[in-house]
Structure 1
C-alpha cells in the first residue's frame, strides 16, 4: 500500500489503537473505547514499552495509525534454546481493510523476527474468525498445534 510506514507505537497512539481494537464484532465485546481511556490501557502500554522483548508496532499512512500488532520475543529451552516470536492483537482500521495493510503488518513482523534471530513465528486467532484463519494460512502459517486458553 502506497505511503505505508511502520514504527514503534507511542503513548499518543493509544487512542487510535484502542479504537481499532474495539472496532469489530469480538473487540466491541471486550474492549472499552472511551475518553479518557481506561488507565489499564496506559499501564499495559508502559509495561510493553519497558520490556525489550515486547514491541507494539503501528502501521501508518501519513500521521494516521491504520494498523497495530504486538510482537513478543521469547527464549525457549526447547529447540536447543532458540527464540520465537509471537504476534498478538493484530488489527487494521476498517477504512483500509482489504487493501494490503494486514499482509504488510505480518510481513513486517516476520522480517523483524528474523532480524532478532527467531527460529519460529507464531500467532493465534479466535475460532470465531474463519476469514482471519484463511488469511494467515495464505501467508504461510499452518495450524500445527491445538491452542488452549483459560480465563482467570
Structure 2
C-alpha cells in the first residue's frame, strides 16, 4: 500500500468512495463526468496552505482518502 497526496486524476474515484459511504451518500453524488463544483472545490483545497487530500493506493488503485 502507498499513501500520497491526491491529484486531480484521483478525484472521480475519491468522490465515488465518498458517495458509497453511508454518511457520504447523504451529501455526495457521483456522476461521470464529475460536476464542475467538485473540480473547483478540489482546486481550491489544493491551493490552501496546510491542506492536503491524502489517498491510500493499492496496486495504483485508490482504496481510501483522508
TM-score of the two chains, using structure 1 as the length reference = 0.42
Alignment of 1:1-152 (within 5 A): 4-69=1-66
If you compute each CA radius of gyration, which structure gives the higher value, 1 or 2?
Answer: 1
Give runs of ≥4 in structure 1 deviating > 4 Å.
none
- Flag structure 1 segments of 5+ consecutive residues without an equivalent: 70-152
Whichever structure has more strand as a proportion of its residues is 1
SS of match in other structure, 2:42: helix
Q: How far apart are 1:51 and its partner, in Å?
A: 1.5
Q: Deviations over 1:62-84 (max 9, x none)?
A: 11000101xxxxxxxxxxxxxxx
CA distance in 2, matches of 1:43, 1:35: 16
CA distance in 2, matches of 1:13, 1:23: 16
SS of match in other structure, 1:35: coil
CA distance in 2, matches of 1:65, 1:28: 18
Q: How far apart are 1:52 and its partner, in Å?
A: 2.2
Aligned length: 66
SS of match in other structure, 2:53: strand
C-alpha root-mean-square deviation of aligned residues, in Å? 0.9
Report 1 or 2 for greater relative contact order, CA contacts < 8 Å, sequence distance ≥ 6: 2
- Flag structure 2 segments of 5+ consecutive residues without an equivalent: none
SS of match in other structure, 1:55: coil
